[in-house]
Amino acid sequence: MKLRTLMATSVLALAALTLPTNTVDAEPSFVMNFGTVAPANTPWSDQVIDTKNRIESNSNGAIKVKAFIGGVLGGEIEMTRDIRRGERLQAGGMSTAAVASAVKVPILELPELPYLFRTDAEADAVLDDILFEPTSAALASKGLVLGFWAINGWRSFATSGGPATTLAELKQYKMRSQEAPVHIAMWKALGVNYVTKPTSEVLTAINTGIVDGFDNTPLFSAASGWIGPMSHYTLSRHIHQPAAIIYSKKFLDKLPADLQSVVMGDPKAEADKGRGGVRALEQEMIDVISSMGTTVVPLNDAQRQAFETATRSVHAEFLATNPELKPVYKQVEAKLKAMR
């Protein structure tokens, strides 16, 4: 799918999200509002539609799902807190670090430590085999339920004016930072001037010169329109960013057991489906970025190693701030060592 097609059909896709399904006739007993910053007509919005249809169909119409995509109800932190309250929103899909920041669950920042993972397989194994259960417990204590893992992908540096293949080059730019502490710590470790902005404000910040760079995945960078003013996209792949589908515990507790099971579905199957959809488009989106006139720049091994070395202190800082997570981090290290 080319970017112009993706953007041209966004309005139609957004409208489709709120259309009632034809598979159920019963009046709904419960309404679930689902919020996300994911742009329309992407694998993320496709999965939202699939989840909406699955829940409505398998509940025989007892649950009506209303989806609000593209950040129309605010940023990720704001929406996560809304989901916790269970009033305006009852569900959503957010980046893991955003959820961590919103409700103070630092285990969700752990997978976004820079250069923690080298491959998709490593990330999936750690998330599924090590982090799912303790994250579920941590979120439950905050009034949230982890439905399943989703994925944003590999974040890289987008800059206006030149590439960012070295620390010296990157330091020339004022970069947008996600609001999460782990992201802020990374920019500090790199010695980069940064400005924190929620997703809903980034495009304006780019267009007005408040920032002249950001980091995000190829798909999100293209679908959001952020990449347009950027001259270079450096494939640093410094963070593999998961996302999480979360539900309001207050809302789920109101449902009978059978409907709770319908909402939860099969977490592993849902995660695998979402990962496959996003990863299948990664190279195509890199090609789209290049076709728009943005120069795509790969890193060689030495350049990548320099960034990895510079950000290693972020891991130590994270564990010093969250010493209770040292045992989990050791499990992650052991898993990665066994896979390398």
**Identity (one letter) of the amino acid at 95?**
S
* pLDDT above 90: percentage of residues in the chain: 91
Q: Phi/psi at 282 (nearest 5 deg)?
A: -60, -55
pLDDT at 20 over 60: no
Q: Where are the domains of the chain?
A: 3-339
Q: Higher confidence at residue 23 or residue 193?
A: 193
As a whole number, the mean pLDDT across the chain is 93
Q: Residue 50's beta-bridge partner residues?
A: none
pLDDT at 8 over 50: no
pLDDT at 184: 98
CA distance 301 to 318: 26
* pLDDT above 70: percentage of residues in the chain: 92
Please report which confidence band the pLDDT of residue 26 belongs to, taking 50, 70 and 90 as the band edges. low
pLDDT at 19 over 50: no
pLDDT at 18 over 60: no
Which region, left, alpha or beta, applies to residue 146 given φ > 0 means left and ψ of -120 to 50 means alpha?
beta
Query: How far apart, in Å, are the Cα atoms of 337 and each of 21, 122, 285, 321?
Result: 47, 10, 31, 24
The pLDDT tens digits of the residues spanning 75-129 come to 999 999 999 999 999 999 999 999 999 999 999 999 999 999 999 999 999 999 9
pLDDT at 284 over 60: yes
The pLDDT tens digits of the residues spanning 176-221 come to 999 999 999 999 999 999 999 999 999 999 999 999 999 999 999 9
The helix (H) or strand (E) run that includes residue 74 is none
Which region, left, alpha or beta, applies to residue 281 given φ > 0 means left and ψ of -120 to 50 means alpha?
alpha
For 3-339, which CATH superfamily applies?
Bacterial extracellular solute-binding protein, family 7 (3.40.190.170)
pLDDT at 25 over 60: no
pTM for this prediction:
0.90
Q: Rg for the chain (alpha carbons), in Å? A: 20
Please report which confidence band the pLDDT of residue 27 belongs to, taking 50, 70 and 90 as the band edges. confident
| DSSP secondary structure of 231-263 | SEEEEEEEEEEEEEEEEEHHHHHHS-HHHHHHH
The helix (H) or strand (E) run that includes residue 326 is helix 326-339
